[in-house]
Structure 1
Amino acid sequence: MTRPALLYLTHRIPYPPNKGDKLRSFNLLRHLARTHAVHLGCFVDDPADLARVPELDEWCEQSCCVPLSPRWRRLASLSGLARNEALTLSYYRSREMAAWVARTVQTYQPAQAVVFSSAMAQYLAPHPELLSVVDFCDVDSAKWAEYANAHRGPLSWIYRREARRLLAYETSVARRVGAVSFVSEAEADLFRALSPEAAAKAFAVDNGVDADYFTSDPDSPSPFPEGEIHLVFTGAMDYWPNVDAVRWFVREVWPYLAASIPELRFTIVGMNPTHEVRALQDDPRIQVTGKVADVRPYLRHAEVVVAPLRIARGVQNKVLEAMACAKPVVASAAAALGIDAADGEHFVIAREAADFVTAIRQLLAYPEHARLLGRAARSRVLERFSWEANLSRIDFLLERPDA
């Protein structure tokens, strides 16, 4: 049986799935490819990913992967000031991408389109005949508003402007497409509150985690020396909320723990650490790994995984992955938001620095309680966070966007 053509647009190449947004966009690609001939258009902002483009053939009928230089696109995005539009739209505006989309629609005549991130919805405007679902994933405009509150001066003004302009654009997109989806019910509710005129178009399509890949395996080789106790944080370390999180943790929480637990170490695992992150290693008990081949050994052999994000949107995959590995997680309220799990039963939510100190000390002092919390966390992942089960709602939206 011939699979129907489907247009799929993403702001970043969905392979390899090595960071939060790519995990969702890749699993969505893999899901769509089971029932559709997928025509993928995306940007590539990491030169290393260009070598992986041929691997997309496993899931795509064809693909258009346009290289994007973040430095130059940041400059180009300033044209949005003159256009009175969100800078995000200018950042991802490309004549090459628009031409490819037009050719694909004319040649293959897809009836449906799935778009990942609001910025890519601009390529749907010339093609209103497509039945489209736009996966906003997060309310990006709210992220910029949080950035504005966390900064001062010109940056705060730019971020606040971006929040306003992008929300107006997100609302206009939601009103003209079949449906828009979000990574959690909390994000969908936020969008409904911010854009009541488009509320009926907003749906939650929860994230998942590969629980066959992220498993508990305490007998596997450990990356840590014997006799040490490890706290672990994972994430892309050039992403500002992650940078802010570890710097805050080292400043506000770490000294109180390190002073009383000599064997304690803090390991920050993730690609592209900034200078500010690397500087944290001035404390010899803090390690910054940079990119690692496999994050699982660090999770599996951590005593506690921490997620002290002060700014977070959507669902934190880092939390779900640690839970799938049956590790006790101490997360900020922002990092826990959107995860359908119970505080004290599946993870611990810490709202202040003192809460992090207390929760981590208790988990280290009572290892059996920590193990029970980790086992409950994995059970919750298996029960609630299957990619296939959760992404099946996209199929429903493609068939019945008015429901």
Structure 2
Amino acid sequence: MSGEILFLAHRLPFPPDRGDKIRSHHLLKALAAIAPVHVGCLSDSAEDFEHEHELAAIAASYCMPRRTKPVSLAGMEALVRREPVSLSAFRSPELARWVEHTLATRDIAAIYVFSGQMGQFVPRGFAGRLVVDLVDVDSAKFEAYALERSGPRGWIDAREARLLRQVEAGLASRAAATLLVSEAEAELLRSRVGREHTIVPLANGIDCGAYDPSIVEPRAELTEGGPHFVFTGQMDYAPNVAAVARFATAILPRIRKSHADAQFHIVGRAPTAEVLALREQSGVTVWGAVPDVRPFLAGATMVVAPLTIARGVQNKVLEAMAMARCVIASREAANGIDARHGRDWVVAESDAAFVTIALHLLARPAEREDIARNARAFVLGNMGWQATTADLPVLLGFAQAGAGAGAKRDAA
């Protein structure tokens, strides 16, 4: 099949510095190797426009309107329209007009929708091939939120879960293929929307060249004292907030009974007030946004991922493993990564297990280093982006990858 690709993403795929942007960034690069790609996305902040030139360098054309709608307004619109807040929050008339113009004037053979919110921009009459990358089953995530919360917030989350489930089913019925980040997520969606649809996993990968411990110097503060436990992630994301609170309040104090100098480093942008308050806990440092998380990973004695709500594959875990760090992960955070417990990483089922495993590995540095080396070897052998995106030409209906996008670049 010949023609061009329309790529719709809810956020600018640059820079690749958070989970969703990492995936969309590498998918965009892979798509541009197949055919010219036209990119429609939304910007979250003025800082996004500092990376507009990177988008212009890869896109045959693009549109990137600013998302300025307040959450309160999105919520009211969602109530009136009887739709998920997620759809209302990402609605953009400017982007919708650009999509209509692009489909009318370019030879778009396939549309790749990244994240379910962007399905609203695909017209019902589109005759080409539609691939929808939901990444995770968002409706299940909101169901979990609703079970943990009471009052109006619990009602809102339950409503969002119910309506998102309808959106997910609708997209799966329209798409030639619906993609999820892991087989577990794919099976969950099949169980919810029906097995007559083509629902397949497309795993996250890792840039093993960038996440290479041989080229990164550890952060100076993590080279003395310790041991140093590190968590990385977007720190206004509710599952991450809960995870660091869990480690700082329920796990670290018990480790410090045996290792009084044990330190917990929370690394990631936009820490909430709840996260910032954890600085009052002995041994906890909240770093906030940093230019590069790799020095913190390089200096970590162990990297921890004690998430209790997690959908799909955790990039933070893959990054730590690529950096040859010993990772202790919860069962939820281990989802979708086919590594071996005790060889490539360690999976802890409870707070007590986190403590026991951490103390065991602190007393056995040789065993800890073996796990760290095996972690990088596992990622190198199984989780590179070239391997994980190899099936995209077939999924999109192109017989083979082309030479890449060579069209004249222009911005809407």
Q: TM-score range by the shorter chain?
A: over 0.9
| Residue 83 (structure 1) aligns with | 81
- Please point out which of 184, 199, 203 is paired with 1:202: 199
| Residue 115 (structure 1) aligns with | 113
| Residue 399 (structure 1) aligns with | 397
Contact 1:132 1:177 (C-alpha < 8 Å) held by counterparts: yes
Shift of 1:149: 1.2
- Please point out which of 203, 209, 212 is paired with 2:209: 212
Deviations 1:343-390 (A, max 9, x none): 222111111100000111111110100000111111111111011111
- Please point out which of 367, 387, 390 is paired with 1:389: 387
RMSD: 1.8
SS in 2 for 1:381: helix
Deviations 1:266-288 (A, max 9, x none): 11111111111111111352111
The ranges of structure 1 where at least 4 consecutive aligned residues each deviate by more than 3 angstroms after the TM superposition are none
SS in 2 for 1:17: coil
Deviations 1:230-274 (A, max 9, x none): 000000111111111101111211110112202211111111111
Task: Output the CA distance in 1 between the equivalents of 2:35 and 2:379.
Answer: 28
Shift of 1:220: 2.4
| Residue 55 (structure 1) aligns with | 54
Code of the residue aligned with 1:147 in structure 2: it is Y
SS in 1 for 2:213: coil
Compare relative contact order (CA 8 Å, sep 6+) and give the higher one, 1 or 2.
2
Tell me whether 259-268 or 325-334 shows the greater mean CA deviation.
259-268
Deviations 1:54-87 (A, max 9, x none): 22122111110011136x1442233222222222
| Residue 403 (structure 2) aligns with | none
Code of the residue aligned with 1:26 in structure 2: it is H
Code of the residue aligned with 1:210 in structure 2: it is D
SS in 1 for 2:12: coil
Deviations 1:186-221 (A, max 9, x none): 11011011111x553101011100111112239824
TM-score where L is the length of structure 1: 0.95
Code of the residue aligned with 2:138 in structure 1: it is D
Q: Confirm whether residue 26 of structure 1 aligns to residue 25 of structure 2.
A: yes
Q: Confirm whether residue 347 of structure 1 aligns to residue 345 of structure 2.
A: yes
Task: Output the CA distance in 1 between the equivalents of 2:181 and 2:159.
Answer: 24
Task: Output the CA distance in 1 between the equivalents of 2:87 and 2:366.
Answer: 50
Tell me whether 78-87 or 351-360 shows the greater mean CA deviation.
78-87
Q: 1:67 to 1:218 in 2, by over 3 A?
A: closer
Q: 1:345 to 1:74 in 2, by over 3 A?
A: farther
Task: Output the CA distance in 1 between the equivalents of 2:331 and 2:10.
Answer: 28
Unaligned ranges ≥5, structure 2: 400-412
Q: Confirm whether residue 132 of structure 1 aligns to residue 130 of structure 2.
A: yes
Contact 1:218 1:300 (C-alpha < 8 Å) held by counterparts: no
| Residue 408 (structure 2) aligns with | none
Tell me whether 3-12 or 267-276 shows the greater mean CA deviation.
3-12
SS in 1 for 2:247: helix
SS in 2 for 1:132: strand
Shift of 1:21: 0.3
Q: Report matched runs for 1:260-275 at 5 Å.
A: 260-275=258-273
Task: Output the CA distance in 1 between the equivalents of 2:21 and 2:72.
Answer: 21
Contact 2:6 2:112 (C-alpha < 8 Å) held by counterparts: yes
Q: Confirm whether residue 316 of structure 1 aligns to residue 319 of structure 2.
A: no
Task: Output the CA distance in 1 between the equivalents of 2:56 and 2:220.
Answer: 35
Code of the residue aligned with 2:214 in structure 1: it is D
| Residue 180 (structure 2) aligns with | 182
Q: 1:49 to 1:159 in 2, by over 3 A?
A: same
Code of the residue aligned with 1:18 in structure 2: it is D
Code of the residue aligned with 1:115 in structure 2: it is V
Task: Output the CA distance in 1 between the equivalents of 2:341 and 2:389.
Answer: 25
Task: Output the CA distance in 1 between the equivalents of 2:336 and 2:97.
Answer: 37
Code of the residue aligned with 1:215 in structure 2: it is D
Contact 1:77 1:89 (C-alpha < 8 Å) held by counterparts: no
Contact 1:218 1:301 (C-alpha < 8 Å) held by counterparts: no
Q: How many residues align?
A: 398
- Please point out which of 156, 161, 164 is paired with 2:162: 164
Unaligned ranges ≥5, structure 1: none
Identity of aligned residues (%): 42
| Residue 329 (structure 1) aligns with | 327
TM-score where L is the length of structure 2: 0.93
Contact 1:101 1:123 (C-alpha < 8 Å) held by counterparts: yes
